[in-house]
Chains A and B, each alone.
Chain A
Amino acid sequence: MSLNEMHAEDGSVRRPYARVAEWLTTISPEQLERRRVEAELFYRRGGITFAVYGDAQGEERIIPYDIIPRILSTQEWSKLSAGLEQRVKALNAYLRDIYGPQEILKAGIVPPELVWRNPAFRPEMCGIEAPHGVYIHIGGIDVVRVDADDFYVLEDNARTPSGVSYMLGGREISIRLMPELFRSHRVAPVENYPNELLATLQSVAPRGASGEPTIALLTPGQYNSAFYEHSFLADAMGVELVEGYDLFVRDDIVYMRTTEGPKRVDVIYRRIDDDFIDPLVFRPDSALGVPGLYGAYAAGNVTIANAMGTGAADDKVIYSYVPEFVRFYLGEKPILKNVQTWRCREADDLRYVLDHLAELVVKEVHGSGGYGMLVGPHATKEERANFAERLKAHPDNYIAQPTLALSTCPTFVSNGVAPRHVDLRPFVLTGANGVRIVPGGLTRVALREGSLVVNSSQGGGTKDTWVIEC
């Protein structure tokens, strides 16, 4: 039985949801439907769309939005937020370490081959000090609840986490379409996210940069699934939205091509993957990146956020060591829990996983977006047998976790309001001057009854997340 965030087991309403529960008794399905349509129109007209890779039909689609907000109390939030800060600090410390002195390998905590064989580990980054020691400037930490007390981290996103525009778009809709309900809750604001992001990026400018550093957001372009978000953030921060072609490097200094001639760039918030960022160092066939960017970074003339090579901290095996990182680097007790994880590369774990496939979720170590995984309880016998073969052939490639009973939130679906499973992605900003987290994040909801897959590429939707005093 999973946690129902609105109704306790005895049927009473949990305190944070008191007003929402009451509101739901006063509002008709027709009124909810009307708001749903208006919300969809808001996204559609704003061009707040995403593309699903490999889907020729849906050039631009909108993510379904559920207008019933997800509520967290400030008490719940402050515990979560402290845990997030701790976790991201530990991840940054880990990256600083493996690209530097590699103490954690010497201490025997992480097996070295897990670092060296990780395709997201970038040897090119070894011995280069990240400006101000920050690697993960923007982290998206996916958390779930299974009971009323604890938050579990499902996954760390340390590369180019996306979705923040849906957090902000959802808030805009709450304010517009449910003004009374919104006002009565005194919801902690998230609108300042772009400001906090800008302050974070400014704080990490190379030490040699001029007084007001020039910041640019590097996008792969308008056919990228998150292009709307890129343009939205650039606009909200008042920085240039650039593509690879707009930048060039001369004498290890990055410039952008402007109508007034070349202009020096100090900080690049990049939303393109490591592989494509610099064809001279990474994939030579990349047309999206900037030749020479790595050299400029290595020379200390530009800050790249997130740094290259952060993927070494967020694959699904490394995930299982993060509580160790917290203890090793910070000397603290982890506040957020990890989901129990079996590493199939270890013989005992593999045996256990093969014996319990029907209960477990098996994931590719380097997979993302809900692709390439087996949800044991929902798979057929044949699917499980096939997957077992793949597991035995490449045990290194997989980890397994118990199927979590994700908490549910009231959600408007075709036959009325019903509980649906949710997760939460808060965005954690790390600058030279500390960690910033706006209260809330992106709540993703699995719209299909019983489904646990919340990814937007797999039919998940989003909700606004309200942190309230109660």
Chain B
Amino acid sequence: MLSRTADSLFWFSRYVERADYLARVLEAAMRLSSLPIRREDAEGEWASALSTAGCMADFTSLYDRVSPAKVTRFLAYSKRNPTSIRNCLRIARRNARQVRTALTAEMWDTINSAWLELNKLDFDTMDASAMARFLEWVKEMSLRIDGSGYRTMLRNDAYWFARLGIFLERADNTARILDVKYHVLLPENVEVGGGLDYSQWAAILRAVSALTAYHHVYHESLKPMRIADLMLLNDKMPRSLASCYGAICANLDSLAAAYGKQGEAQRLARSMRNRLENCRIEQIFESGLHEFCETAIKDNGRLGAVIAEQYLV
């Protein structure tokens, strides 16, 4: 397969996954900001949505103050934000168009129709409920792309590169949301208690679509350490770091088997998966959740670079 084709498949998936994640982050922020909290705290929610999305710097270069409307516009559809949902879908479609021959008709149809639909939307007149519907639509669209890929693609290198993109992006997103939110999970905050904490924790879980999963796994009320455990180490939870790395390793191994060659990417991914497997959440809290997340984000970046070096250029 052409390196450029692999590259486009990889980034196509990453951008769809990122659009999905941004929709979840925005939903969480909208929900939290509707709670009876102080105005500064509400503003904090919107600011943390920006940090979680990794575009605080881009935002502050354009605006001096954080406001719900500005952040929503910036994350959802601003053309000036290179990774707004709208731009993610635009780039995803551009990558898909680049490699139409490597996508199935169903996948192409889904992303192309989504892009055409999105262009018909009038964002400027969108009220909160229309925005909520839009975010819902983004999530559905990513499910359709994920599902059509799963159902219709041949299990060959094209499929593995596309999957690799999804899981690397997802691992990155999970690490990022924890890194921004780690302070609400730290023990000193547990004392505060009350409904607001619950909402904060629930929002994190919702952003990774894991609120229901939590209850199924732990059979108890939300506890910070359990939340971190679910998101980092639980390999049954499809968005956990452990599970993303399991999938990354599996797809890299499929590539290595097909090409008859293991490489740096395989070794690096395996060592990260092993670290997650052999780790306990108590240790992570002891040595610092923030530090752990920071390292994870750095490692994700490094793995992305190594994959690119090995296959995509």
Q: Which residues on A are within 8 Å of B, measured CB to CB?
A: 44-47, 222, 227, 231-232, 234-235, 240-243, 245-246, 256-260
Known: A235-B100, A241-B101. A257 touches B2 (CB 8 A): yes
Task: Check B2–A246 contact: CB distance below 8 A.
Answer: yes
Question: Is residue B113 within 8 Å, beta carbon to beta carbon, of the partner chain?
Answer: yes
The answer on a CB contact under 8 Å between B311 and A259 is: yes
CA distance in complex: A45, B106 (Å)? 11
**A47–B3 touching, CB < 8 Å:** no
Nearest-CB residue, chain B, relative to A256: B2
Q: Is the CB of B4 within 8 A of A245?
A: yes
CA–CA, A258 to B259, complex, Å? 11
Residues of B within 8 Å of A242, CB to CB, are 2, 4
Q: Of all chain A residues, which has the CB nearest B6?
A: A259
Q: Which residues of B contact A259 (CB under 8 A)?
A: 1-3, 6, 157, 161, 255, 259, 311-312
Given A45-B112, A259-B311, A260-B259, A222-B2 contact (CB < 8 Å): no
Most A C-beta atoms less than 10 A away, residue of B98, B100, B116, B259: B100
A242 to B157, CA, bound (A): 17
Contacts of B157 in A (CB 8 A): 259
- Closest approach, in angstroms, between the C-beta of A299 and any C-beta of chain B? 24
* Chain B residues whose CB sits within 8 angstroms of the CB of A235 once the complex forms: 100-101
Which residues on the A side are within 8 Å of B4 (C-beta)? 242-243, 245-246, 257
Going nearest first, the 8 A-B pairs with the smallest beta carbon separation are A235-B101, A231-B100, A259-B311, A257-B3, A259-B6, A259-B1, A260-B259, A234-B101
Interface string of B77-116 (1 = CB under 8 A from A): 0000000000000000010011011000000110011001
Q: How far is the CA of A45 from the CA of B255 in the complex (A)?
A: 32
Within 8 A of A (CB), among B281-313: 311-313
Q: How far is the CB of B169 from chain A (nearest CB, A)?
A: 19
- Closest Cβ neighbor of A235 among chain B residues: B101
When A222-B94, A222-B98, A259-B157 are in contact, do A44 and B6 touch as well, CB less than 8 Å?
Answer: no
Q: How far is the CA of A195 from the CA of B157 in the complex (A)?
A: 25
A243 to B255, CA, bound (A): 24
B141 to chain A, nearest CB (A): 15
- Interface residue from A47, A231, A246, A256 paired with B112 (Cβ < 8 Å): A47
Residue of A nearest to B94 (CB): A222
* A45 in contact with B1 (CB, 8 Å): no
Q: B97 contacts which of A47, A240, A258 (Cβ < 8 Å)?
A: A47
Q: How far is the CB of A14 from chain B (nearest CB, A)?
A: 39
Q: How far is the CB of B100 from chain A (nearest CB, A)?
A: 5
Given contacts A222-B94, A240-B2, A259-B157, contact A47 B108 (CB under 8 A): yes
Question: A461 to B161, alpha carbons, bound, how many Å?
Answer: 39
Tell me which residues across on chain B come within 8 A of A234, comparing CB atoms: 101
Q: Which of B6, B101, B259 has the most CB atoms of chain A within a 10 A radius of its CB?
A: B101
How far in angstroms is the closest Cβ of chain B from A5?
35
A-B contact pairs, 11 of them (CB 8 A): A45-B112, A234-B101, A240-B2, A242-B2, A246-B3, A256-B2, A258-B1, A258-B3, A259-B3, A259-B157, A259-B311
Which B-chain residue is minimally distant from A233 (CB atoms)? B101
Q: Is the CB of B2 within 8 A of A47?
A: no
Minimum distance in angstroms from B233 CB to a CB of chain A? 32
Residue of B with least CB distance to A237: B101
Report the separation of the CA atoms of residues A41 and B157 in the bound assembly, to the nearest whole angstrom: 32
Q: Which residue of B lies closest to A228 (CB)?
A: B100
Distance between Cα atoms of A242 and B8 in the complex (Å): 13
- Shortest C-beta distance, A170 to chain B (Å), equals 18
Question: Which residues of chain A are within 8 angstroms of B2 by Cβ–Cβ distance?
Answer: 240-242, 246, 256-259
Q: Out of A231, A243, A258, A260, name the residue touching B101 (CB < 8 Å).
A: A231
- A257: chain B residues at CB < 8 Å are 2-4, 313
Closest chain B residue, CB of each to CB of A221: B98
A259 CB, min distance to chain B CBs, angstroms: 5
Cα separation A227 to B5 with both chains bound (whole Å): 15
A235 to B97, CA, bound (A): 13
Query: In the assembled complex, which residues on chain A have CB atoms less than 8 Å from the CB atom of B112?
Result: 45, 47
Nearest chain B CB to A32's CB is how many angstroms away?
A: 24
Q: Which residues of A contact B98 (CB under 8 A)?
A: 222
Tell me the bound Cα distance from A243 to B259 in angstroms. Answer: 23
Contacts A258-B1, A259-B259, A260-B259; A47 near B100 (Cβ below 8 A): yes
- CB-nearest residue of chain A relative to B115? A47
Residues of chain A with a CB closer than 8 A to B116's CB = 44-45
Q: Which B residues from 1 to 47 make CB contacts under 8 A with A?
A: 1-6
Q: Which of B254-301 contact A (CB under 8 A)?
A: 255, 259
Complex alpha-carbon distance, A240 and B8, angstroms: 14
Q: Judging by beta carbons under 8 Å apart, are A45 and B109 in contact?
A: yes
Residue from the set B5, B6, B313 with the largest chain A CB neighbour count within 10 Å:
B5
Closest CB in chain B relative to A309 CB, distance in Å: 28
In the bound assembly, the distance between CA atoms of A226 and B3 in angstroms comes to 23
Complex alpha-carbon distance, A259 and B1, angstroms: 6
Chain B residues numbered 106-132 whose CB sits less than 8 Å from any CB in chain A: 108-109, 112-113, 116
For the complex, what is the distance from the CA of A241 to the CA of B259, rounded to whole Å?
A: 21
Chain B residues lying within 8 Å of A44, measured Cβ to Cβ, are 116
Q: In the complex, given contacts A45-B112, A47-B97, A257-B3, what are 13 additional A-B residue pairs having Cβ atoms less than 8 angstroms apart?
A: A45-B113, A47-B108, A231-B101, A232-B100, A234-B101, A240-B5, A242-B4, A246-B4, A257-B313, A258-B1, A258-B2, A259-B161, A259-B255
Q: In angstroms, how far is the closest chain A Cβ from the Cβ of B103?
A: 10
Q: How far is the CB of B238 from chain A (nearest CB, A)?
A: 26
Q: Using Cβ atoms and an 8 Å threshold, which residues of chain A touch B6?
A: 259
Give bound CA distance, A45 to B105, whole Å: 10
Chain A residues with CB below 8 A from B97, complex form: 47, 222, 227, 231
Contacts of B311 in A (CB 8 A): 259
Residues on the B chain within 8 Å of A45, using CB: 109, 112-113, 116
Per the bound structure, the CA–CA distance linking A201 and B241 in Å amounts to 48
Q: How far is the CB of A115 from chain B (nearest CB, A)?
A: 39
Instruction: List residues of B (128-159) whose CB comes within 8 Å of A's CBs.
Output: 157
Q: In the complex the two chains form, what is the Cα distance from A232 to B4 in whole Å?
A: 17
Q: Interface code B232-264, partner A: CB below 8 Å = 1, 0 otherwise? A: 000000000000000000000001000100000
Identity of the chain A residue whose Cβ is nearest the Cβ of B96 in the assembled complex: A47
Taken together as a complex, chains A and B put the C-alpha atoms of A231 and B3 apart, in Å, by 16
Residues of chain B within 8 A (CB-CB) of A258 are 1-3
Whole-angstrom CA separation of A245 from B2 in the bound complex = 11
